[in-house]
Structure 1
């Protein structure tokens, strides 16, 4: 596609951002809303709009080649992702569930569920390709050295005897094939020699002609139908020819190469323009700033009789003089007025608190109030930049979409002025100190202390700095040690889209009926995107977005928990640390060894962000009673796991992911202290199972497209995705795939393989549901339902009394 196409797509996204940000700002200014359904609709509406914007902006950022436009698009994309994550947490608080359903919003906006599924931003991996390749290569080299990979076979020069023996083997095989063909021809000649019945004999060759005609007509009709089907699909836009698809991918790759080229030119121009400005205008700019500030200081001294204090560099320096209006007396008036205003505000605040206490006694539910956003301000700023700079910009003189030198010159002029102002401020501070000391001596007063003020360093962080136990070791050596001990593991690369499953299409109506439906596989995929992939993929988003430090995935065997962990690592290019009890048994023994293990994981994870700390059997460290048969010492990390999670801050792109298929076996309080989120992956529903059977079976060209997958969907109800994959693997062997043309696939083959596996029994499913009610969010949900039931009972009693 052309430059105009992506500019138009950006303009469409910008229009949605403009509407959504205005609506978002208005919601922040509204009073608390006591109507829960209305509040849920408002937040869902914003959430859906921002998701559509993210998908559009991701395409723009991936393909726009103008380096300065890409900076603005990146700001908008990051702020929209961050705002979406904030709204997701708002929906969780409203619904008291990790899963949100908003079919009414989709109907109003005329959107499909596929359009509101967030795609993984391409820049998560693209901007780190070199880093990821080098890390993968280093890991492969280490594993080869350790003997985990088979060594490449080195060709050894053959001796004469070995060569003769090899020729003899091949010659014998050739003679055997010839003899077999010869015997086959003799057998066919004998069969032809047999006399045919007189009724089957045709001397005119009509049967042969009829057979040829039949074959040709069938081939011709199939070819025509295929052509008609292709033309129809091209007409409605549901199919793209292979050649066109290949060409589109080539164009995309070409635009990405242009991005790299233009970005290098832009970076070079930034340095060159600044050096040129400094050489040509640096001296005159410095003189102008010095004269300007000195004039202001002399005017102030003439009016007040004393020299002003130069503001610190952190607060803005001499630029603050010109942001204030009027003289020093007016400034003092404004400060006194502001102090009076602050007193009035305090008095009002006290009155409001008193009134609030009275109202809180009368009203229990304050209603829903949108929490302040950390991204909305930056989004409005980036939106304003688009409106002022890019919206109506004429670009006929820049058809190649290269960097704009005039914009660079304007930016660097401001940057150079800021740097020169700091130099001038420091020079004037020294002059003011000398002048004030001389003035004090003349007046017989003690010399005033230096007016330098230390910038606010902020409160000391409560987070204690961990003592470095390996100060003399390099990152490469630590990385190699953890790979050698199997703590850092190489994971299979799989995309999140490979976690197949449909979104839930009935849960919205069930929620209206005050039921709590189970999520579908598509809903699980979306939650993994919002809690793990989007925050971990970008450092700027992770620092400001709502922080999810740890998450626990539960579900029966084969539900796809491991696959989700691998997909998260693949989509963000994370390093996987395996702290499963079975994996660390016998490694780093003793108390000192455990301290070293935890230290190495924390240190390397922070140096190689993003990182995923993985634990299979997440319930084992918190078991109430360890089975005698378990020799892995599962409680080894019981005290350290909560500390690892606690030390994860907004600046750390690290997450702990635990997996469990029996989470009810452990201490629930300790589990809740370690994991922030609990996600239960149930067995697939009918829609997910149906699409799964179709995708898995119809990938084989020999399977008849009329094969009844609905029957298999009903028969496989209760089985997990892992079982279905295993059944397909067992049945569709290489030999069976070759026989499909002659011997069509039958239901009996799949059913026989399915019967060998265990389904998810009702008792196991009920155990998961009973456990989930005891999780923090499950308890909050149950408490909210109890309060609603009590309110209804009370209102019913009041209505009866009135009657």
Structure 2
């Protein structure tokens, strides 16, 4: 696509953001909403609009070449993603469920469920590709030294003559095999002719032979046309899956994307060089003049201040803004009022403010008690969103770029930006210089006043606040003299840091639940579908973990527990989180740390190393397999892994994760009901149950997995396999496909079509998810914190319905 196409896409996204941000501002200022259904609809509409904006902005940021446009789009993209995560937590509090459904909003906005599904931003991994590859090479080298990889024999490059000679040998061999087969068929035909009875009349009628040939050909041609028309009709109405073919247009689009990525990098390097050269040019040509102007302006202000008050002002610190505060009207008035007002008046004002705040607090409490409705929480991203939005409106919306077809950086914008930056730097230098001059003047004034016999009050040195001091105690560094590379190598050697297979989140296939919205209106709470699980993992794990900016401001998710049957895709989701975010995987599973770092001191060192290295190599994922074993009430005698070794330290690890730490703790469990539920809830603040796939997900899986092979007939009945495989997990279906669709079987598909019996025979060897296991998972999930809150809400709603029903019956 062209530059104009992506500019138009950006304009569409900006229009949606404008509408959503205005509605968002109104919703923040609105009073509490008592009707939760109305509140759910309002929040869902905002949520869907921001999701569509994120998907469009992601395409723009991935393909737009102009470096200054990409800066604005990146701000918008991060702010929109952060707002999506905030609204997701609002929906969770409204629904008391990790899964939200908003079919009414999709109908209102004319969107399909696929359009309302947020995608993984492309820049999460693409901008860190070199770093990730370098880290993988380091891990490979360490593992090779340890002997985990066999040394590859260096193969000599083949010359062109050798390659041609090899091709000739194989081609002659192929022709020889074909000639042998051809001669064999001729010999067999001759033998058949010899054994056949010789007809009495060797003369055949030519017209009869021609009629026979015509009849055969016309029959074949008619059957072929009917079959083709039938297939076209079935494809048109969606009853058959389209063929799995690579389209040239798609390949061309991918080539264009890669070309634009290369052009992006060139323009970015050019832009960075222009930033340096422009600043140096402005500093050389105008630096001295700007410095003199700032000095004269500031000295004039100090002189006026002296004439009005008879005192010398204190220049604020750099953290609070420096002398720029003097040239804003409100700041200047506040500075003068601070120096002239007495301390007693300040005390009275504080008391009056305190009384007003208490009265307002009491009123708010009374209102909350009287009206316990929904109130939107303050957003940390709405301000950034509006700032980036106004920047687009002022600069980029109506900008004429006819003279910049190659989308190079705008030098005039760079000069304006660097002029303001240089002015700020020079102002800091002037401030520092004038602070020294003011100290000299103050000392001279003090000497004059002392000689006249007047008392002098010493100027108090005010320091600007650089921010609140964090109350978090710093952990004592047990390895201060060791480098990160040595710690990284030690953890790889001990198997704590390990490699993981590259899995995209899109490979976790499954449909969304299309009936849950209506069922929830009826007071029911059905289980989610696999598509809903994929969306929640993206919102809780991938989106916050992949960006430092978003993680620092978005609602914090420290730990996630994935619970489900064997083969439900728990490990695959963990690997997908690591792949999409480029994270380092720390394996602290009970079975993995057996015999490693023994003793109490060894355990302390292990926890320290994981905490330290995971923060130095952000983003990081701490993985716990069989998470329930850490909190077992009674360890079986057959278990020799010491599973309760991290019982005290694991909650501390989860609690110690802060907004600045791109670290996520993910636990995986197949029987979470076997342990202490209180300790489990203290460690994992999000618990996600992965159920077995429903009918729609199973049907989608069979179609996707079978029809990726070109030889499988598009008339193959996948609905039958969907019914037969009810109760089996995704892992079981993948094992069946892997066992049946071997390389040899794929080559035989055109001659010997695939049958249901082959798949069913392989499926029967595997164990399904039985009813007892399903019920155990449901009972456990109802006892989780969010499950209890949901059950309590359903009970209250049921009681209210019963009361309304009894009242209506009495009236009748």
Name the TM-score, length of structure 1 as normaliser.
Answer: 0.91
Judged with a 3 Å threshold, the aligned counterparts in structure 2 of structure 1 residues 646 and 191 are, in CA distance, closer, same or farther, namely: same
Judged with a 3 Å threshold, the aligned counterparts in structure 2 of structure 1 residues 201 and 308 are, in CA distance, closer, same or farther, namely: farther
Partner of 1:195: 196
Judged with a 3 Å threshold, the aligned counterparts in structure 2 of structure 1 residues 422 and 756 are, in CA distance, closer, same or farther, namely: same
Aligned 1:400-439 pairs, distance under 5 A: 400-439=406-445
Equivalent of 1:265, from 266, 270, 277? Answer: 270
Partner of 1:350: 358
Equivalent of 2:484, from 472, 475, 479? Answer: 475
Partner of 2:301: 296
Equivalent of 2:582, from 559, 563, 573? Answer: 573
Distance apart, 1:270 and its partner CA: 0.7
Following the alignment from structure 1 to structure 2, what is the Cα–Cα distance between the partners of residues 199 and 523? Answer: 77
Partner of 1:164: none
Judged with a 3 Å threshold, the aligned counterparts in structure 2 of structure 1 residues 182 and 261 are, in CA distance, closer, same or farther, namely: closer
Q: Classify the secondary structure of the residue corresponding to 2:561.
A: strand
State the Cα deviation string for residues 743-771 of structure 1 (Å, max 9, x = none).
22222222222111111111110100000
Following the alignment from structure 1 to structure 2, what is the Cα–Cα distance between the partners of residues 639 and 20? Answer: 45
Distance apart, 1:259 and its partner CA: 0.8
Judged with a 3 Å threshold, the aligned counterparts in structure 2 of structure 1 residues 771 and 464 are, in CA distance, closer, same or farther, namely: same
Partner of 1:394: 400
Following the alignment from structure 2 to structure 1, what is the Cα–Cα distance between the partners of residues 151 and 652? Answer: 42
State the Cα deviation string for residues 248-274 of structure 1 (Å, max 9, x = none).
112111111111111111101111111
Aligned 1:671-682 pairs, distance under 5 A: 671-682=680-691
Equivalent of 1:248, from 232, 248, 253? Answer: 253
Distance apart, 1:739 and its partner CA: 2.6
Following the alignment from structure 1 to structure 2, what is the Cα–Cα distance between the partners of residues 619 and 232? Answer: 50
Partner of 1:161: none
Answering whether residue 706 of structure 2 is matched by residue 697 of structure 1, we say yes
Following the alignment from structure 2 to structure 1, what is the Cα–Cα distance between the partners of residues 200 and 189? Answer: 22
Following the alignment from structure 1 to structure 2, what is the Cα–Cα distance between the partners of residues 23 and 200? Answer: 95
Partner of 2:515: 506
Judged with a 3 Å threshold, the aligned counterparts in structure 2 of structure 1 residues 425 and 677 are, in CA distance, closer, same or farther, namely: same
Structure 2 alignment gaps of length 5 or more: 157-169
Partner of 1:778: 787
State the Cα deviation string for residues 7-51 of structure 1 (Å, max 9, x = none).
111011000000000000000001111100000000000000000
| 1:273–1:408 contact (8 Å) kept in structure 2 | yes
Equivalent of 1:542, from 547, 551, 569? Answer: 551
Aligned 1:441-460 pairs, distance under 5 A: 441-444=447-450, 445=454, 448-449=457-458, 451-460=460-469
Q: Classify the secondary structure of the residue corresponding to 1:269.
A: helix
Answering whether residue 797 of structure 2 is matched by residue 788 of structure 1, we say yes
Aligned 1:18-97 pairs, distance under 5 A: 18-97=18-97
Partner of 1:134: 134
Structure 1, 746-755 or 128-137: larger mean CA deviation: 746-755
Aligned length: 781
Judged with a 3 Å threshold, the aligned counterparts in structure 2 of structure 1 residues 797 and 437 are, in CA distance, closer, same or farther, namely: farther
Structure 1, 731-740 or 561-570: larger mean CA deviation: 731-740
Partner of 1:315: 320
Structure 1, 51-60 or 391-400: larger mean CA deviation: 391-400
Distance apart, 1:590 and its partner CA: 1.4
| 2:695–2:722 contact (8 Å) kept in structure 1 | yes
Aligned 1:545-560 pairs, distance under 5 A: 545-560=554-569
Name the TM-score, length of structure 2 as normaliser.
Answer: 0.90
State the Cα deviation string for residues 483-521 of structure 1 (Å, max 9, x = none).
222111111111111101000000000010011110000
Structure 1, 738-747 or 347-356: larger mean CA deviation: 347-356
State the Cα deviation string for residues 620-652 of structure 1 (Å, max 9, x = none).
000011111111110011111111111111111
Distance apart, 1:792 and its partner CA: 4.6
Structure 1 vs Structure 2 CA RMSD: 3.2
Answering whether residue 732 of structure 2 is matched by residue 727 of structure 1, we say no
Partner of 1:165: none
Following the alignment from structure 1 to structure 2, what is the Cα–Cα distance between the partners of residues 13 and 86? Answer: 19
Following the alignment from structure 1 to structure 2, what is the Cα–Cα distance between the partners of residues 218 and 471? Answer: 83
Following the alignment from structure 2 to structure 1, what is the Cα–Cα distance between the partners of residues 734 and 200? Answer: 53
Distance apart, 1:345 and its partner CA: 5.0
Structure 1, 367-376 or 743-752: larger mean CA deviation: 743-752
Q: Classify the secondary structure of the residue corresponding to 1:745.
A: coil
Following the alignment from structure 1 to structure 2, what is the Cα–Cα distance between the partners of residues 227 and 531? Answer: 43
Partner of 2:165: none
Following the alignment from structure 1 to structure 2, what is the Cα–Cα distance between the partners of residues 16 and 436? Answer: 58
| 1:433–1:451 contact (8 Å) kept in structure 2 | no
Structure 1, 250-259 or 468-477: larger mean CA deviation: 468-477
| 1:697–1:703 contact (8 Å) kept in structure 2 | yes
Aligned 1:613-762 pairs, distance under 5 A: 613-762=622-771
Answering whether residue 774 of structure 2 is matched by residue 765 of structure 1, we say yes
Distance apart, 1:348 and its partner CA: 3.7
State the Cα deviation string for residues 120-156 of structure 1 (Å, max 9, x = none).
1110111011111111111222222222223324679
State the Cα deviation string for residues 225-261 of structure 1 (Å, max 9, x = none).
799899999xxxx999722222211211111111111
| 2:65–2:407 contact (8 Å) kept in structure 1 | yes
Q: Classify the secondary structure of the residue corresponding to 2:322.
A: coil
Following the alignment from structure 2 to structure 1, what is the Cα–Cα distance between the partners of residues 763 and 232? Answer: 39
Following the alignment from structure 1 to structure 2, what is the Cα–Cα distance between the partners of residues 325 and 771? Answer: 59
Partner of 1:163: none
